């Protein structure tokens, strides 16, 4: 059936995510609700592509934190000159203090965009197709992952170039997290508490959808379902 008023593409992605995750928890074959528009071909035996969409990748960067102290010499005689000298000295102290604070701020690690591409999530891992080429990831290569905020995950793992830590922003971020957690870390605290979904979203979405189109909410990981029952290899 068609989507209800107030239903966005983001809601659709989350709803499809819930349906696929519920199938995985129930031990059923996980199939995408719609054809997956991705140039990626499955690389593992029995692998099924589940979803694809734009992704922005962020990496940690730090400024050089350099600080250049102002020590320009200025001195004038006479009452007016002495006052001017004091004012210049005070200004230099204030300027130096501001530059120190700016240097500390620049030296602090911060997340910076590192490019965009196409994220494809599958039953066995995920792929990022970007101008630099295709980066395939198995769930086994991901050491840690959590949902930082709706539509964004914090992921650490072992790439072919060494260890990496990325933020990935995509409508399919929650699907990637849930499929990884069910395959590799079923005791993940966000999975077991239901915190991998936006607060209140499931209840709101259920009100907007026709009851016949609702997924088996009782089978979703978290308080709504038995997260502990998920185990084994991907279907």
Q: Could you read off the pLDDT of 5-37 as tens digits, one per residue? A: 678 999 999 999 999 999 999 999 999 999 999
Model confidence pLDDT, tens digit, residues 40-68: 999 999 999 999 999 999 999 876 555 45
Higher pLDDT, 70 or 196: 196
Q: Which helix (H) or strand (E) holds 22?
A: helix 9-25
Q: What is the pTM of this model?
A: 0.77
Tokens of 152: 């964004």
Q: Residue 77 corresponds to which tokens in the numbers above?
A: 């005689």
Specify the pLDDT at position 235: 46
Q: φ and ψ at 146, to 5 degrees? A: -155, 155
Q: Return the HEC string of 44-59.
A: CCCCCEEEEEEEEEEE
List Cα–Cα distances, 181 to 51, 145, 235, in angstroms. 17, 8, 14
Share of the chain above pLDDT 90, in %: 60
Is the pLDDT at 150 greater than 60? The verdict is: yes
* Secondary structure tally for the chain: helices H, strands E: 5, 7
């Amino acid at each position: 059936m068609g989507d209800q008023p107030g239903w966005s593409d983001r809601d659709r992605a989350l709803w499809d995510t819930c349906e696929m995750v519920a199938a995985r928890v129930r031990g059923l074959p996980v199939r995408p609700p719609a054809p997956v528009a991705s140039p990626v071909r499955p690389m593992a035996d029995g692998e099924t592509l589940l979803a694809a969409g734009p992704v922005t990748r962020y990496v940690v960067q730090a400024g050089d934190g350099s600080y250049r102290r102002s020590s320009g010499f200025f001195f004038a005689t006479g009452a007016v000159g002495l006052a001017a000298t004091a004012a210049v000295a005070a200004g230099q102290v204030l300027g130096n203090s501001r530059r120190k604070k700016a240097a500390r701020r620049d030296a602090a690690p911060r997340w910076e965009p590192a490019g965009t591409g196409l994220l494809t999530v599958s039953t066995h891992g995920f792929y990022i197709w970007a101008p630099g080429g295709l980066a395939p990831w198995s769930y086994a290569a991901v050491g840690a992952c959590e949902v930082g905020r709706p539509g964004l995950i914090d992921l650490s793992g072992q790439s072919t170039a060494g260890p990496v830590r990325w933020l990935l922003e995509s409508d399919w971020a929650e699907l990637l997290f849930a499929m990884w957690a069910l395959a590799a870390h079923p005791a993940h605290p966000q999975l077991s508490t239901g915190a991998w979904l936006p607060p209140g979203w499931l209840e709101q979405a259920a009100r907007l959808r026709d009851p016949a189109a609702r997924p088996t909410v009782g089978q979703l990981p978290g308080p709504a379902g038995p997260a502990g029952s998920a185990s084994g290899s991907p279907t």
